[in-house]
Amino acid sequence: MKLSPPSSLVRCSLRLTAVGLLLLAGCSKSNDTTASSSTSGSSAAPAGKTITVGFAQTGAESKWRVANTESLKSEAAKRGITLKFVDAQSKPENQITAVRNFVTQKVDAIVIAPIVSTGWEPVLKEAKDANIPVIIEDRSIDADPSLYKCFIGSDFIKEGHLAAEWLVKATGGKGRILELSGEPGSAAAEDRKKAFADGIAGSPGLQIIDSQSGYFKRDQGKQVMEALLKKHGKDWDILYAHNDDMALGAIQAIEEAGLKPGKDVMVVSIDGEQEAVQAIVDGKINVVVECNPQVGPVVFDSLAKILAGQTVPAKTFNTDHVFDSTNAATEVKNRAY
Ligand code: AHR
């Protein structure tokens, strides 16, 4: 919604009108349009009452990310919200610029899936000064919490712990680990790395012998795995990949090197993409810790409350599950991404 400055009162009352529309998620009309790559349609809302949300996405580095984008776009479309979408192409500076532009455009709210956790305070202050609420989704940030309304996503620390806990049990606490880490500086990579290391710390027989970044991308996961295989040959036992795309790329490299993933070496991953859960069924991945990308409904429910002046929890975490040979065959049918 484009509002004429300077009246914050007018802005507020229009927001309240729009809140009703946000809450109508389940009542969208059949002619609702799905958001395009730049701006979503708003056919569920009467003319002149649409609210506009800017969404600064990390990029499209993984299938998980594509599902996350789709979740927010489709939920916005259902609710008649105009979504201004920016793909930051994995460049933190693009993302800051996108948020700054949303502030200049006077959007009604901003949603950010931060690439990295640092560097956010100046632009968040600009949004706060402009009275624009900000929701952080997916990856947490290191910033004064008063600068944004809430965080919605998965608990990466718990994910790292769950992966470690499963591995300690499955190996009896022994094995040489290669780690494929995610985007450097991202909460997802930093938390999963630290929590996993903490989780195996009580098992001195489990050692991380090398750790390299594959940037959460399948092609880089494969390339980095090829380099690790050249360096370590067969002198390792376990791959810990911070996401499924890297694990799936690495599996290709492992097979090309003449090893059987899931058997000669164990593969531990995070996300829960259908392809990865299928790889458990096929015996190529041993365990996947879920990280649910489908947070669109929670994001827009929270936004409705925020725009209505209600308080929302500072942090809302998904309930994520663990998939292994005991449940993968049942779960693979239910995977939506
Ligand atoms: O921040 C979540 C991570 O980012 C997902 O695990 C990964 O697949 C994505 O690209």
Q: Are residues 31 and 84 in the same domain?
A: yes
Q: Are residues 147 and 174 in the same domain?
A: no
Q: Are residues 18 and 138 in the same domain?
A: yes
Relative to the CA of 62, which ligand 1 atom is closest? 10
> Does 323 map to a domain?
no
Q: Are residues 307 and 235 in the same domain?
A: no
pLDDT band at 6; cut points 50, 70, 90: very low
Q: Are residues 206 and 236 in the same domain?
A: yes
Q: Are residues 149 and 180 in the same domain?
A: no
Higher-confidence residue: 96 or 34?
96
> Does 326 map to a domain?
no
324-325-326-327 Cα dihedral, nearest 10 degrees = 60
Report d(CA 249, CA 266) in Å as an integer. 15
Residues whose CB is less than 8 angstroms from the CB of residue 331 and which lie 6 or more positions away in sequence, other chains included: 277, 321, 323
What is the phi-psi region of residue 34: left when phi exceeds 0, alpha when psi lies from -120 to 50, beta otherwise? beta
> Does 324 map to a domain?
no
**Contact present, 281 and 329 (Cβ < 8 Å):** yes
In the predicted structure, residue 115 carries a pLDDT above the cut 60: yes
Q: Are residues 65 and 125 in the same domain?
A: yes
Amino acid 56: pLDDT: 99
Pick from 243, 270, 273 the residue to mutate for probing ligand 1's pocket: most ligand atoms within 8 Å of its CB. Answer: 243
Give 260 Cα–ligand 1 centroid separation in angstroms. Answer: 26
In the predicted structure, residue 25 carries a pLDDT above the cut 60: no
Q: Are residues 85 and 169 in the same domain?
A: no
pLDDT band at 47; cut points 50, 70, 90: low
* pTM metric for this prediction: 0.88
In the predicted structure, residue 127 carries a pLDDT above the cut 90: yes
> Does 1 map to a domain?
no
> Does 180 map to a domain?
yes
Tokens of 129: 């000064």
Higher-confidence residue: 304 or 22?
304
Report d(CA 36, CA 28) in Å as an integer. 17
Short-list 311, 335, 321, 303, CA closest to 51: 303
Residue nearest to atom 3 of ligand 1 (CA): 188
pLDDT band at 29; cut points 50, 70, 90: very low
pLDDT band at 323; cut points 50, 70, 90: very high
Task: Read off the pLDDT of each residue in 219-225 and give the average, rounded to a whole number.
Answer: 98
Reported as a single tens digit per residue, the pLDDT across 157-184 is 999 999 999 999 999 999 999 999 999 9
Report d(CA 242, CA 228) in Å as an integer. 16
In the predicted structure, residue 267 carries a pLDDT above the cut 50: yes
Amino acid 245: pLDDT: 98
- Structurally, the chain folds into a number of domains equal to 2
Q: Are residues 167 and 284 in the same domain?
A: yes
Task: Read off the pLDDT of each residue in 7-35 and give the average, rounded to a whole number.
Answer: 39
Q: Are residues 133 and 213 in the same domain?
A: no
DSSP state of 26: G
Task: Read off the pLDDT of each residue in 212-231 and give the average, rounded to a whole number.
Answer: 98
For residue 65 and ligand 1, the question of a CB distance below 6 A is answered with yes
Q: Are residues 126 and 196 in the same domain?
A: no
> What is the extent of the structural domain holding 186?
156-291
Q: What CATH number is given to the structural domain containing 237?
A: 3.40.50.2300
In the predicted structure, residue 137 carries a pLDDT above the cut 70: yes
Task: Read off the pLDDT of each residue in 307-333 and give the average, rounded to a whole number.
Answer: 97
